[in-house]
Amino acid sequence: MYEFEFRTGKVSIDYGKCDGCTSFACVKACSLYGRNILRVQGGKPVLSVSPEEARRLCIECLACEQECYSKGQQALTIVLPPLLRYGPSPGWTG
């Protein structure tokens, strides 16, 4: 398991599920929609920046998880904290 944190959560990559992946959809998604903090090394996605930089640079677009799920091996998951508040935000006129 390969993990790193970003501002509000954590990315977990199950390397066992990455075996045989040829799309590297998570890395491509990060380069297209995110801040390009992932790269392929040894056939697996890894950070291309330090963990501290990843925490700061990640824009939390969630594209890596979506693309891995739809075009990859379903190896990458994003863990977010539970919502502490339910309902519309103050001032929301919906």
37: domain CATH number is: 3.30.70.20
Residue 85 domain-assigned (yes or no): no
Q: Global pTM?
A: 0.83
Q: Which tokens go with 43?
A: 């056939």
Number of domains into which the chain is organized:
1
Give pLDDT tens digits along the chain (94 positions): 999 999 999 999 999 999 999 999 999 999 999 999 999 999 999 999 999 999 999 999 999 999 999 999 999 999 988 865 566 666 655 5
In a domain, 89, yes or no: no
Find, among 91, 29, 90, the residue nearest to 60 by Cα: 29
Boundaries of domain holding 29: 2-79
Quickly tell me which residue has 């501290």 as its tokens: 52
What are the two backbone dihedrals, phi and then psi, of residue 18, each rounded to the nearest 5 degrees?
-75, -20
